[in-house]
Amino acid sequence: MTEHRDYLGAKMGMWIFLFTEILLFGGLFVLYSVTLGRYPTEFHEASKLLDVTMGTTNTMVLITSSLFAALSVVGLRKGSRKVAKTCIFLTLTLACCFLVIKYFEWSHKIHAGIYPGGGTLTQWEPGKQAFFSLYYTMTGLHGLHVILGMGVFLWVWTRIAVGTCTPEHFVALENAGLYWHLVDLIWIYLFPLYYLIT
Amino acid sequence: MTTDAVNAGFMAPGGKSWLREWLFTVDHKRIGMLYLWCITAFFVVGVFLGLLLRLELFWPGRDFIGQQTYNAVFTLHGVIMIFIVVIPSIPAAFGNIFLPLQLGAEDVAFPKLNMFSFWLYVIGGATALASLFSGGGAPDTGWTFYVPFSAVTTTNVSVAVAGVFILGFSSILTGLNFIVTIHRLRAPGLTWTRLTLFAWALYATAWIQVLATPILSITVILIIVERLLGMGIFDPARGGDPILYQHLFWIYSHPAVYIMILPAMGVVSDIIPVFCRKSIFGYKTIVGSSLAIAFAGSLVWAHHMFVSGMSDTAVMVFSFLTFIVAVPSAVKVFNWLSTMYKGSIRLEPPLVFALGFIFLFAMGGITGLVLGSAGTDMHVHDTYFVVGHFHYVIFGGTGFGMFAAIHYWFPKMYGRMYNRRMATTAALILIVGLNGLYFPMYLLGLEGMPRRYYDYLPQFTSLHQLSTYGSWITFAGLALMLYNLIHSRYRGAPVGRNPWKAATLEWTLPSPPPTHNFDTEPVVTHGPYDFSEVRDDDGA
Ligand code: HEM
Ligand SMILES: [Cu+2]
């Protein structure tokens, strides 16, 4: 049996899937806005405690990685598997950078006792506690998606290497790129909501 | 007749490794059969748990299981029935087997993804069951996992909700697969208005699966986060809010009841014209009402929360919206009845089950209005009235839709016919049993018997006993039906392509259909309920 290939179908499936991911985060954004409405001043205060420099750096890192993701698709479509693989490699490297920076941010806070159940945070007003529980939940879930996206890119990388993802049939790479853009996009919303609302 | 006299089609045993061949199959028909068997197995487990609950309630006071066990049993009963049986039931089993056939397609759009979602289903179901035997014991929260209790109970809630998360993911992928399949794989000539109503129902359902289930996923993720990391998102002392949990939960779970009922409506819409030899009355209204239910059903979730402390305005708005969603359901009932009017009716088992569906669904739907109007709901909220209502709707509705589907497509799936008299008898026993089982619950609820209690005041005894007798009759009906089907799977009389003389594409294939479905791509020239071209010798 020849494998059934349907470019439009594959794209459609991916878009619908991305939509479910948006809804998944959508639930959290709703929680965020309700809680923000309830504790505007506490959110303002708590937001000051986040490190804007690190957040901004991470935003730049992730946007750049998205650029390389896009370039890998362009590279493959133009016929160069080598360019595609190099660009995927750069995307993955930047994704690692993102996670490392995130790790430092989190561990600073955790050392200072600012985490749910932590000595410092439990002393603070409920509004600030809510800010940080949402912060950890949302950036944590986003971080998990970064890791998943890296897994997807690794998988596509091997497919390019063994020749099942080719300049003629590049939809797997294109879909991986779409997924990565979504992960990027979600961060672009998280960043101002947590770091810049002071 | 011996077994090998019947064409085996896609069911044909493969080589030596037939087990592997089945478990890792990408053939949509085999995947659908696997779902059907798993769902049936889980259904049997769920029914036994239900019977156990009824038995405990035969006398007031403790009969033989204590309160903790009772709580665990009704939680497990609810989780199994809702997430493992009813939600996947018709779409995952019959949708997988028959949607591609009705579209004239070779398979679904993503066959490997289909196998993957079956495996997610198995893993999710196993995880949910594992919560029984590991950790702090079976969860005791009820299938709704309401906080704050679910965040603090020492029972094994985290594992159970992880199972629910995986099952939800499986459901999303099935829905996604169906949407793309319907858009991309229709045979030439199969325009949107020539689609079967079953396919249309699956289409509407698939969108709800895709759009609502992610909210369930995030809700259960939050429970896990709350339990394992102590986030406090729903804890007022730490700035959270438990009502937000209820909103998130019902934003999924109300639409989920349409995931449960729409496919059953699709089955009934397909069956009625065939056994009345008449084109369906109001094809476009039925399609429109499916889409309207899918849309309006997403706006009414908070009718589960009238007494949770929402604002009066919210209560009124949600009460009003709930009434609106009843309209498209009623429209469908009128369409079915009008189709039967002056039809030449053949009262075969699938039609008997379909009629049982209409009756029981109406019994449940009308009481839904009592629950939907905030004033009366204040009185019966969290009483047995609710238990009666949702059982009429999901057992009488989805359950009967499932039974109707089995009896309609059984000859196509196995190439054999069951004993029709026995099937009709089972259907009638079930209708009697269900009314005996659930009607007393309405009365109990009106008199104030709360749900989820293993004990009750002595004045409720006779109604409880009536209900328990009903559960035994129901059990007898189920047993007879299952016996008939299992027996006929091996011993039933062989049938030809089209025993019901239906006009949809799956009946043009041999029974059971061959692995590759259609030898040549069919070209569709007329609608699904145009019987003028069905030949009389087709049955052979
Ligand atoms: C012989 C069949 C059945 C019997 C005897 C039965 C009986 C019961 C009983 C006694 C309860 C507990 C009510 C309470 O304490 O509040 C219950 C709850 C429930 N049942 Fe069934 N049931 C049956 C079939 C079904 C089916 C087919 C479904 C799904 C389609 C279902 C879904 C549920 C759900 C969702 C609950 C709610 C659990 C909760 O309150 O948290 N049941 N059932
Ligand atoms: Cu509802």
pLDDT tens digits for B243-280? 999 999 999 889 989 999 999 999 999 999 999 998 99
Percent of chain B topping pLDDT 70 = 97
In degrees rounded to 5, what are phi and psi of residue A147?
Answer: -65, -45
Torsion of CA A113, A117, A121, A124, to 10 degrees: -160
CA–CA gap between residue B231 and residue B305 (Å, rounded): 24
Chain A hits for B210, CB-CB cut-off 8 Å, are: 16, 19-20
In degrees rounded to 5, what are phi and psi of residue B450?
Answer: -75, 155
Nearest to A172 by CA among A94, A97, A88: A88
pLDDT value, residue B2: 42
A92 CA: distance to closest CA in chain B (Å): 25
Chain B hits for A28, CB-CB cut-off 8 Å, are: 218
Tell me which of A33, A137, A159, A186 to substitute to probe the interface with B (most B C-beta atoms closer than 10 Å).
A137
Q: What's at B359, amino acid-wise?
A: F
Query: By the 8 A CB rule, do A126 and A134 touch?
Result: no
CB contact, 8 Å: B521 with chain A?
no
CB contact, 8 Å: A137 with chain B?
yes
The per-residue pLDDT for range B17-42, each reduced to its tens digit, is 778 888 888 999 999 999 999 999 99
Per the prediction, chain B carries an average pLDDT of 91
Q: Is the dihedral of CA B353, B356, B357, B358 positive or negative?
A: positive
3-state secondary structure of A56: helix
Whether pLDDT at B4 is above 50: no
Instruction: Say yes or no for a CB contact (<8 Å) between B210 and A16.
Output: yes
pLDDT value, residue B446: 95
* Other beta carbons within 10 Å of A180: 26
pLDDT value, residue B15: 67
Closest C-alpha to ligand 1, atom 28: B81
Whether pLDDT at B16 is above 70: no
The pLDDT of A117-135, averaged and rounded, is 89
DSSP state of B232: -
Instruction: Say yes or no for a CB contact (<8 Å) between A13 and B180.
Output: yes
The per-residue pLDDT for range A64-108, each reduced to its tens digit, is 999 999 999 999 999 889 999 999 999 999 999 999 999 999 999
In degrees rounded to 5, what are phi and psi of residue B59?
Answer: -115, 155
Centroid of chain to Cα A132:
19
CA–CA gap between residue B164 and residue B160 (Å, rounded): 6
CA–CA gap between residue B54 and residue B469 (Å, rounded): 9
Structure tokens at B145: 């996992």
CA–CA gap between residue B242 and residue B31 (Å, rounded): 40
Chain A hits for B172, CB-CB cut-off 8 Å, are: 17, 20
pLDDT value, residue A3: 56
Nearest to A94 by CA among A83, A102, A104: A102
Structure tokens at B449: 């018997």
The per-residue pLDDT for range B423-463, each reduced to its tens digit, is 999 999 999 999 999 999 999 999 999 999 999 999 999 99
Q: Vertex B444, ends B443 and B446: CA angle to 5°? A: 65
Instruction: Say yes or no for a CB contact (<8 Å) between A133 and B239.
Output: yes
pLDDT value, residue B297: 86
Q: Which residue of A has its CA nearest to B228?
A: A116
If 0-12 CB within 10 Å is exposed, 13-18 middle and 19+ buried, where does residue B169 land? buried
Structure tokens at B150: 């679910």
Q: Please name the member of A16, A30, A35 whose beta carbon is closest to the beta carbon of B239.
A: A35
Strands, E assignment, B333-381? none
Rg (CA), chain A: 19
Chain A hits for B213, CB-CB cut-off 8 Å, are: 20
Q: Is the dihedral of CA B113, B117, B118, B123 positive or negative?
A: positive
Structure tokens at B38: 């798993």
B455: left (phi over 0), alpha (psi -120 to 50) or beta: beta
pLDDT value, residue B62: 85
Query: By the 8 A CB rule, do B235 and B170 touch?
Result: no
Long-range contacts of B34-41 (CB under 8 A, 24+ apart): B34/B118, B35/B88, B35/B92, B35/B93, B35/B96, B35/B118, B35/B121, B36/B93, B36/B94, B36/B97, B38/B121, B38/B122, B38/B125, B39/B84, B39/B85, B39/B88, B39/B89, B39/B92, B39/B93, B40/B482
B476 CA: distance to closest CA in chain A (Å): 42
The answer, yes or no, to whether ipTM is higher than 0.90 is yes
Query: By the 8 A CB rule, do A91 and A70 touch?
Result: no
- Residues facing residue B417 across a β-bridge: B493
The per-residue pLDDT for range A12-37, each reduced to its tens digit, is 999 999 999 999 999 999 999 999 99
What string of H, E and C letters represents the secondary structure of B459-527?
A: HHHHHHHHHHHHHHHHHHHHHHHHHHHHHHHHHCEECCCCCCCCCCHHHHCCCCCCCCCCCCCCCCCCC
CA–CA gap between residue B500 and residue B539 (Å, rounded): 7
Chain A hits for B516, CB-CB cut-off 8 Å, are: 1
Instruction: Say yes or no for a CB contact (<8 Å) between B213 and A20.
Output: yes
Q: Which residue of B has its CA nearest to A118?
A: B230
Pocket residues: Cβ below 6 A from ligand 1:
B 47, 50-51, 53-54, 74, 77-78, 81-82, 86, 142-143, 387, 391, 394-395, 398-399, 437, 451-452, 471, 474-475
3-state secondary structure of B450: strand
The number of the ligand nearest the C-alpha atom of B144 reads 1
The per-residue pLDDT for range B40-65, each reduced to its tens digit, is 999 999 999 999 999 999 999 888 88
Tell me which of B180, B185, B220, B516 to substitute to probe the interface with A (most A C-beta atoms closer than 10 Å).
B180
Angle between helices A7-38 and A40-47 (to 10 degrees): 110
Whether pLDDT at A187 is above 90: yes
Torsion of CA A131, A137, A138, A142, to 10 degrees: 150
Nearest to B489 by CA among B23, B44, B33: B33
The pLDDT of B523-534, averaged and rounded, is 86
The per-residue pLDDT for range B130-151, each reduced to its tens digit, is 888 877 788 888 888 888 888 8
Per-window interface: B 90-149 vs A, CB < 8 A? 106-107, 109-111, 113
The per-residue pLDDT for range B187-215, each reduced to its tens digit, is 999 999 999 999 999 999 999 999 999 99
CA–CA gap between residue A164 and residue A160 (Å, rounded): 6
Tell me whether the omega of the peptide bond preceding residue B214 falls within 30 degrees of 0, making it cis: no
Question: CA-CA distances (angstroms) from residue A38 to A128, B134, B228, B407?
Answer: 11, 39, 26, 55
CB contact, 8 Å: B317 with chain A?
no
DSSP B421-435: HHHHHHHHHHHHHHH
Tell me which of A14, A15, A20, A30 to substitute to probe the interface with B (most B C-beta atoms closer than 10 Å).
A20
For tokens 């909700």, the residue is B161
Query: By the 8 A CB rule, do B115 and B31 touch?
Result: yes
pLDDT value, residue A64: 96
Q: Is the dihedral of CA B312, B316, B318, B322 positive or negative?
A: positive
Closest C-alpha to ligand 1, atom 6: B50
Strands, E assignment, B308-455? 416-417
Residue A4's pLDDT band (cuts 50, 70, 90)? low
A133 CA: distance to closest CA in chain B (Å): 5
Closest atom, ligand 1, to C-alpha of B474: 1
Closest C-alpha to ligand 1, atom 43: B50
CB contact, 8 Å: A4 with chain B?
yes
Supply the pTM of this predicted model.
0.92
- Residues facing residue B494 across a β-bridge: B416
Tell me which of A18, A31, A42 to substitute to probe the interface with B (most B C-beta atoms closer than 10 Å).
A31
CB contact, 8 Å: B172 with chain A?
yes
Torsion of CA B72, B75, B81, B82, to 10 degrees: -160
Angle between helices B349-372 and B420-446 (to 10 degrees): 10
The per-residue pLDDT for range B455-464, each reduced to its tens digit, is 999 999 999 9
The pLDDT of B301-327, averaged and rounded, is 89
CA–CA gap between residue B257 and residue B384 (Å, rounded): 19
Per the prediction, chain A carries an average pLDDT of 92
Q: Which residue of B has its CA nearest to A1?
A: B516
Q: Which residue of B has its CA nearest to A37?
A: B239
Centroid of chain to Cα B178:
17
More confident residue, B8 or A127: A127
